[in-house]
Copies of this chain bind each other. A is one copy, B any other.
Amino acid sequence: MGDFNQSVILEAIRRSGEGLSRIELVDATGLSAQTITNITRRLLDEGLIAEAGRTINGPGKPRVTLRLVAESRFSVGVHLDPAVITFVLLNMSGNVVARRVVRTHDRDPQRIVETMAKTIATLVDEAGVDRALVAGVGVAAPGPLDSAKGTVVDPPKLDGWHRVPLRSVLAAATGFEVTLEKDTTAAAVGELWTGDTAPESSFLFVYLGTGLGASAAREGAVVTGSTHNFGEIGHIMVDPDGPPCACGARGCVEVVCTPQAIVEQAEAAGVLLDDPEGSAANGVGERFTRLCALASAGEMSAFEVVRRSAGHLAVLIAVLSNVLDVDRIVLGGPFWAPLAEIYLREIPEELDRRSATRSVRTLRVDGAIVGEDVGAVGAACVVLDAVLTPRASDLYLEE
């Protein structure tokens, strides 16, 4: 139980922010004073925590506050999105200490891996961080993944990526240990790590990226599924009158709810037709942002398109939350911000109407804590999680 207790203690200290005394740790963790003393001594020796002042609280020895040393370990998070690769360097407190964004139209896996390795090296060097303190690189990639092999399997929006062994190739190119996780799962880890979700509370994370995905957390941990592919939702039908889908059905999430699909709905409705770029795929992000801006500014036909898309997303969220029976919904991902205002106004009521548990409770709907970088930040948190659970790393081999 030593490793587990150590992670419990580190996590309690991290979550406290201000730090905790050994006595407070006994209260917070339920572990014995002796265990707390032994483990905190080891954590002090390793520099993961430090003494941060004494509190005199009545008679007896003053209490020493133990605080996480934010700069004791770092991790790199990489979000591999079809259009843009985001890199962050996180410290142990979960703060972003450096960030880089690389836009590329290149689809060649080998060249992308080279770009990633070069950018990671620059990110760490320019932040002045000792490479030895970097616990590893977490990569968030579109699913499905072959988690056992560490490969990205035919992601729908990444042409040319067929069974790319990203984990091993990137590890070789960077010299760091690499962890591969689905972007949507990483996003939920990021929300858990940075948010204030009570461990007993569960949430569904609906991820709005180039594609849509879902993830969930329960009892303080993200649900990964048996192959780390939890939350593939592309072929859930949300509109029986929607366009045909390659799967043979109609109105699936993939052809109705993606930014690309919403932009096409806007164009079909006569909105955005003055766009000089036309329907070029690379302009989706820009046109989507412009559509949302028009809608928020009260342009009626644009608003109507976004409002309808909120209704479609409410159908999807109802399907997922009725199956999963979670306490609340978190919406996030790179395309969330421009939709937030309208979606947070439209979705809760429609969701409540469709909730199987509406007579038992009202589902809360929140925006994610982390913004458009949630995939990269989440991927870096996956690595920090592994530091907090020592069996997954070799930092504590002396034990």
Contacts and interface: CB of A to CB of B under 8 A. Distances in A.
Given A324-B230, A325-B230, A236 B319 contact: yes
Interface string A353-368: 0101101110000000
A148 B361 CA distance: 11
B229 A356 contact: yes
A214 B251 contact: no
A391 to B, nearest CB: 16
Q: Nearest 4 CB-CB pairs, A to B?
A: A225-B325, A232-B356, A237-B237, A240-B250
Contact of A323 (B228, B232, B242): B232
Interface string A223-256: 0111111111111111011100001011100000
A356 B249 contact: no
B144 A229 contact: no
A153 interface: yes
Stoichiometry (number of copies): 2
A146 interface: yes
A327 B356 CA distance: 26
Contacts of A154: 359
A146 B322 contact: no
Interface residues of A, number: 50
Interface of A: 143-144, 146-148, 153-154, 163, 201-202, 214, 218, 224-238, 240-242, 247, 249-251, 315, 318-320, 322-327, 354, 356-357, 359-361
A197 to B, nearest CB: 12
B235 A240 contact: no
9 contacts: A144-B360, A202-B225, A218-B226, A227-B360, A228-B325, A232-B322, A232-B356, A237-B237, A320-B323
